[in-house]
Every structure is written in C-alpha cells, then in structure tokens.
C-alpha cells in the first residue's frame, strides 16, 4: 500500500510528500522528520517570508506616496487642505488612496471581486439566453443569424480564451515543427542547408511575428465578417514558440543510435516504419523536452500577442486595467500575474506527466 502511494506521488510530481508517508508508516523518524523540514516546512516558511516582504514593501510605498501627496497639498493649497487630504487617506476612502503597490490582502480582495463579477456576468448570459431563446429559434428557421450575447467577458472568460489560444498555437507549432524536424534530422545535408534560416528566425521578437501574421491574415480574410484576432493570435504564438520543438526534434532524430538504424535495415523496414517504430521512440525524450519548452514559450509570448492583437484574453485584461488606472487596477494586475504564473506551472507539469506516461525517459526534469 505504502509503495503504491509513493509511486502515485512521484507520478503526480508530489514527491515532496514522500517523507510524510514514510513517517506515517513508521520508517526512520529522525531522517523523515528532517526531510519534512527541508521539503515542506522550509517552502512554507519561504511563502510566509515572501508575503511578509511584500506586505512591508507595499506599506512602505503606501506611506511614501501618502506623505508626498499630503506635502504637495500643503505646498500648493495650504495646511488646511493638507489636513483634509491626510484625514481622507486615513479614513480609507478609495477616492484618495495612493495608487501604488497593493498589499496581499488587497490583491486577495480583488481576486474575490473578479470571481463575483464572473458569477454576475454568467448569470446575465443565462438570463439573456433564456430571453432570446424563442426569438433565436424563429430567426434560425428564417435563415437568419441568431442574436448573441455581446456583453464584456469576465476575468474567467478571458482566462479560457488565453488557454484556448495557447493550445491552438501549441498544436500549430507541433504540426509544423515536428515533421520538419524529422525531415531535417534525417539528412545532414538538409541540416547544414537550413541551419542558417533556423538560427535567424528563432530569436525574432513576438511583435515582429505578430505584424507579419497580421499582414498575411488581413490580406487573406478581407471579405470575412468575423473577428480575426483569435486567428492572428494563435498563429503568432505558434510561429514564435515552434523553434525549440524543431531544433530538439532534429537533434533527437540525428542522434539516434546507429545500431538501431542498422537493425531497421536488416529487418528491411520501410521509410515510414523506420520513422515510427525506430527513430521516433528513440528520440522521444528530446522531442518532449522541445515540446515542454515550446509550450512554456507559447504561454509567455501569449500575453504580449493578445495585447497587440486585441484578443479578449489575459493580455487584453492586463492592458485594460493598466489603462483604467482605478484604485484596484494594480491589485487586479497582480491577480492576473499570479494566475498567469500558476497556469504556466500547470501546463509544464501536464507536459512532464505526459512525457513520463508515454516514454521510458527516467529524468524527472526541473
């Protein structure tokens, strides 16, 4: 039972909980207690330290900005006005609070507010759908387009849009980079011939890829009536992020043990059989390393691309809050920052779990 639990924890990437299971099973208490302190207590302490430093820093910046505001009011409008500003700040009135780095509690409050806003918008969508159900049935029967909800998306809706965009871009990168990487990896002549192009295109900025894709998509969809921002976003994400997969695939294919190739020749396997039964299984660890990097890069460049392409995702959310300049805008931006980081971590863990499941590579990854 214990061994099964330990294997499950390792498979799920929760190996840091192993000492707890071993201690509960009565194994070496001193050793496992030290491991618990290292792997569980120390990380929790680091989180508390981070929150403490964050709170202290935000409080210091708040006081600095508040004192500057009060002093400015005193110099420009006199002591009476300065006293009014000071009283307003101390009262907690949002209209006169310094707009600086928010505290952890303010960020948590903004997170709950965003969830509440999502529930409100979801209820409005359902109500709208019920109100227009009968009318839409008639419109569809008459061959007309149904009436759709055009209200603003919630924060959760924007997260879903970003995830959909990044997976579409990742799939595009996979479909382009993997076949090209296999072809290049099989031929030293092709690797030499196209290496210069790969090395030049690989470091190109996401902004440049976006502009290039924008030119092409806008030209090809001139008569289209739908929104092309999603198409522009996911193609740009795919082109920005595919290079790690292409390079790693080519490297993996080219470094397959020659003995495997010779065995394939002895067995007289066809070209496709040799690729799918010998080359790909042998190069799978490197290919998956490239895919993990590709997905991470795709998620990182997504925010900038969504911002510029005006796609209704997290990039658009961050930019709108920055421009909004409301008292809770900074808090919402930090909420988005943590959500972006957490989703990026989950995407990497998902790829690592898939790699462990379908390959024989024993490397745990970092």
DSSP-assigned letters across all residues of 100-169: SPPPHHHHHHHHHHHHHHHHHHHHHHHHHHHHHHHHHHHHHHTTPPPP---SPPPHHHHHHHHHHHHHHH
Res 20 pLDDT > 70 = yes
Q: What is the pLDDT of residue 365?
A: 39
Class of the 152-358 domain? mainly alpha
Q: What is the mean pLDDT of residues 89-94?
A: 79
Rounded to whole angstroms, how far apart are CA atoms 327 and 123?
Answer: 26
Q: In which band, very low, low, confident or very high, does the pLDDT at 11 lie, cut at 50, 70 and 90?
A: low
Res 171 pLDDT > 50 = yes
Q: Which residues make Cβ contacts (< 8 Å) with residue 79, sequence separation at least 6?
A: none
- DSSP designation for 256: S
User: Exposure of 10 by Cβ count < 10 A (0-12 exposed, 13-18 middle, 19+ buried)?
Assistant: middle
Res 362 pLDDT > 50 = no
pTM: 0.82
pLDDT in tens, 105-158: 999 999 999 999 999 999 998 998 888 888 888 888 888 888 888 888 899 999
Q: What are the extents of the domains in the chain?
A: 2-96, 152-358
Res 364 pLDDT > 50 = no
Rounded to whole angstroms, how far apart are CA atoms 229 and 305?
Answer: 10
Res 17 pLDDT > 70 = yes
| C-alpha distance from residue 296 to each of 50, 51, 205, 276, 343 (Å) | 24, 26, 16, 26, 10
Res 315 pLDDT > 70 = yes
pLDDT in tens, 150-164: 888 899 999 999 999
Q: In which band, very low, low, confident or very high, does the pLDDT at 224 lie, cut at 50, 70 and 90?
A: low
Q: Which residues make Cβ contacts (< 8 Å) with residue 144, sequence separation at least 6?
A: none
Q: Which residues make Cβ contacts (< 8 Å) with residue 251, sequence separation at least 6?
A: 185, 286
Which DSSP string corresponds to 75-106? Answer: HHH-HHHHHHHHHHHHHT-GGGS--SPPPHHH
Q: What is the pLDDT of residue 296?
A: 92
Res 363 pLDDT > 60 = no
Res 366 pLDDT > 80 = no
What angle do the packed helices 314-324 and 155-186 form, to 10 degrees?
130
What angle do the packed helices 243-254 and 155-186 form, to 10 degrees?
30
């Amino acid at each position: 039972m214990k061994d099964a639990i330990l294997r499950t924890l390792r498979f799920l990437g929760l190996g840091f909980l192993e000492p707890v299971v071993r201690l509960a099973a009565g194994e070496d208490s001193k050793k496992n207690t030290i491991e618990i302190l290292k792997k569980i207590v120390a990380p929790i302490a680091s989180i508390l330290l981070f929150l403490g430093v964050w709170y202290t820093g935000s409080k210091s910046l708040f006081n600095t900005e508040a004192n500057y505001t009060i002093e400015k009011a005193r110099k420009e409008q006199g002591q009476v006005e300065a006293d009014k500003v000071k009283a307003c700040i101390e009262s907690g009135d949002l209209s006169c609070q310094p707009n600086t780095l928010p505290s952890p509690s303010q960020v948590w409050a903004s997170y709950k507010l965003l969830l509440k806003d999502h529930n409100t918008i979801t209820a409005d969508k359902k109500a709208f759908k019920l109100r227009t159900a009968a009318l839409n049935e008639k419109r569809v029967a008459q061959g007309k387009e149904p009436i759709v909800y055009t209200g603003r998306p919630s924060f959760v809706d924007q997260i879903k849009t970003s995830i959909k965009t990044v997976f579409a871009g990742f799939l595009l990168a996979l479909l382009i980079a993997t076949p090209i990487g296999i072809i290049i990896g099989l031929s030293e002549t092709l690797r030499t011939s196209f290496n210069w192009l790969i090395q030049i295109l690989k470091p190109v900025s996401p902004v440049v890829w976006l502009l290039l894709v924008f030119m092409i998509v806008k030209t090809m969809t001139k008569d289209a009536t739908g929104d092309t921002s999603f198409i522009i976003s996911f193609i740009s994400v795919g082109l920005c992020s595919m290079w790690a997969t292409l390079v790693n695939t080519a490297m993996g294919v080219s470094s397959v043990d020659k003995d495997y190739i010779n065995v394939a020749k002895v067995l007289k396997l066809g070209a496709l059989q040799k690729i799918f039964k010998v080359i790909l299984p042998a190069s799978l660890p490197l290919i998956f390393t490239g895919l993990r990097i590709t997905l991470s890069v795709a998620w990182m460049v997504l925010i900038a691309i969504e911002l510029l392409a005006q796609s209704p995702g997290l990039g658009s959310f961050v930019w709108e809050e920055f421009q909004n300049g409301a008292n809770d805008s900074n808090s919402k931006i930090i909420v988005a920052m943590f959500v972006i980081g957490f989703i990026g971590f989950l995407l990497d863990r998902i790829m690592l779990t898939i790699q462990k499941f379908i390959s024989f590579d024993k490397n745990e990854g970092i």
